[in-house]
Amino acid sequence: MKIGVVKETRDFEKRVSLTPDSVKLLVKKGYQVIVESGAGAQSFFSDEEFSAAGASLVPRDEALGADVVLKVNAPTEEEISRMRQGAASISFLYAHTNKSLVDTLKSKNISSFSMDAVPRISRAQKMDALSSQANLGGYKAVLLGANHLTKIFPLMMTSAGTITPGRVLIFGAGVAGLQAIATAKRLGAVVEVSDVRPETKEQVESLGGRFLVVEGAEGVKTTGGYASEVSEDFLKKQKQLIADKIREADLVITTALVMGKKSPILVTEEMVKTMKKGSVIVDMAVESGGNCELSEIHKTVVKHGVTIVGESNLPSLLATNASQLYATNISTLLMHLSTKDGFQLDQEEEITKGVLITHGGALVHEFTKKILNQ
């Protein structure tokens, strides 16, 4: 099997789908790996390192003509047009949000596998790219927030006076939120956390955060670790609870996502107006519509005296580590789905069934079918 790795072309993207270490492992397993020259440059993996690991450096068209093309982001229409009929693609797809992409993959008879659809089960943990990237994103969100603040996080007692600790309010205690809690606590902040899933309370408290309990949270439904159904009444109660907390916060980090839907607005313009001048919001959900009403994607703006960071791709700001983790995720999935001689698909097996989106010219993924009504 010939594996192709191409340079990412999406704006603000610096990651690469395989690293020299992962190439070395795949070559040892008998796979042939071809890498577009310069594919790893922005994450500081050189062509020489890829070559030494056993990869062949090739032009872009040749890499796109491989048996399976590995990417971070979904292939573009132009990239799919250069892939050979019946080839395979593995990348983040978010297929349920992009009908035209699904149709293009079907028309080219591409077997597409989505890294964002890896089931959250114990034996798939090493393939879970959503978690590996969110973990880094939560860490970076705190550092970005600290960078924009004009205050420090830790309690500091000096001869000139005592500086009280900074206060951080985090929405969402998933992988990103939990890493944000741990990072903010290590920096000395007082951390409070709101999440629609009551089962996250113990995890929050184990990291030193204070969990804000919302009345009625026990009625929230979750799927695969994501909130799948949140009532308007619940959101109203949540907003009331955090109205006072947000006034006290120096840094607010929002991470709330709802599977298959636009991110909920948790921080309204009226709430921003009540925040302290000089405080900061880092909206980690900005690419899915944003949790803050005033967020602007790809921009850092100041509104009502509050700095609002709308960085859409936080893992890319840590491109070296993000690429290392993603390469482990994607190569592990590839080796689960195939051998050096080709794919061996059991469409009833849980992981395969979870990640296979299009195959044989058809959309085969049940969740995506349901969302796209196909």
Span 74-116, pLDDT tens digits: 999 999 999 999 999 999 999 998 999 999 999 999 999 999 9
Tokens of 233: 């009444």
Q: What is the CATH number of the domain that holds 269?
A: 3.40.50.720
> CA angle, corner 16, sides to 14 and 21, nearest 5?
135
Asked about 326 being catalytic, the answer comes back as: no
Residues 191, 265 within the same domain: yes
Query: Which of the listed residues 312, 331, 350 is the one where a domain comes to its end?
Result: 312
Query: For a pLDDT cut of 70, what percent of the chain falls above it?
Result: 95
Asked whether residue 371 is assigned to any structural domain, the reply reads no
Asked about 203 being catalytic, the answer comes back as: no
Asked about 131 being catalytic, the answer comes back as: yes
Domain that holds residue 342: 2-127+319-366
Catalytic residue among 10, 60, 82, 120: 120
Residues 327, 278 within the same domain: no
DSSP 83-125: SPTT-EEEE---GGG-HHHHHHHHHTT-EEEEGGG---SGGGG
Residues 79, 6 within the same domain: yes
Mean pLDDT of 213-235: 63
Residues 84, 216 within the same domain: no
Task: Name the pTM for this structure.
Answer: 0.92
Is 70 exceeded by the pLDDT of residue 374?
A: no
Asked whether residue 174 is assigned to any structural domain, the reply reads yes
Residues 164, 296 within the same domain: yes
Buried b (16+ CB within 10 A) or exposed e, 252-280: bbbbbbbeebebbbbbeeebbeebeeebb
Catalytic residue among 31, 94, 226, 326: 226
Q: What rounded mean pLDDT belongs to the chain?
A: 93
Residues 168, 297 within the same domain: yes
Catalytic residue among 91, 114, 131, 323: 131
Asked whether residue 71 is assigned to any structural domain, the reply reads yes
How many domains would you assign to the chain? 2
For strand 362-363 and strand 306-309, is the pairing parallel, antiparallel, or unpaired? unpaired
Amino acid in the structure at residue 293? E
* Residue 321 pLDDT grade (very low, low, confident, very high; cuts 50, 70, 90): very high
Long-range contacts for 155-163 (Cβ within 8 Å, ≥24 apart)? 155/188
Residues 217, 273 within the same domain: yes
pLDDT (tens digit per residue) in 265-316:
889 999 999 999 999 999 999 998 999 999 999 999 999 999 999 999 999 9
Asked about 226 being catalytic, the answer comes back as: yes
Asked whether residue 140 is assigned to any structural domain, the reply reads no
Query: For a pLDDT cut of 90, what percent of the chain falls above it?
Result: 84
Asked whether residue 235 is assigned to any structural domain, the reply reads yes
Least confident of 63-77, 92-106, 112-126, 223-237: 223-237
Mean pLDDT of 327-342: 97
Residues 332, 256 within the same domain: no
Residues 107, 167 within the same domain: no
Query: Which of the listed residues 283, 312, 341 is the one where a domain comes to its end?
Result: 312
Asked about 128 being catalytic, the answer comes back as: yes
Catalytic residue among 46, 56, 107, 125: 125
pLDDT of residue 261: 78
Long-range contacts for 143-151 (Cβ within 8 Å, ≥24 apart)? 143/183, 144/282, 144/309, 144/311, 144/314, 145/251, 145/253, 145/280, 145/282, 145/309, 146/187, 146/251, 148/280, 148/300, 148/307, 148/309, 149/250, 149/251, 149/278, 149/279, 149/280, 150/278, 151/250, 151/278
pLDDT of residue 59: 97
pLDDT of residue 244: 85
Residues 109, 62 within the same domain: yes
Residues 200, 232 within the same domain: yes
Residue 250 CB-half CA count within 13 A? 22
Catalytic residue among 17, 128, 316, 324: 128
Is 60 exceeded by the pLDDT of residue 254?
A: yes
* Residue 373 pLDDT grade (very low, low, confident, very high; cuts 50, 70, 90): confident
pLDDT (tens digit per residue) in 124-181:
999 999 999 999 999 999 999 999 999 999 999 999 999 999 999 999 999 999 999 9
pLDDT of residue 53: 98
Asked whether residue 30 is assigned to any structural domain, the reply reads yes
* Residue 225 pLDDT grade (very low, low, confident, very high; cuts 50, 70, 90): low
Query: Which of the listed residues 312, 331, 358 is the one where a domain comes to its end?
Result: 312
Check: CB of residue 298 under 8 Å from CB of residue 329. Answer: no
Asked whether residue 197 is assigned to any structural domain, the reply reads yes
Asked whether residue 134 is assigned to any structural domain, the reply reads no
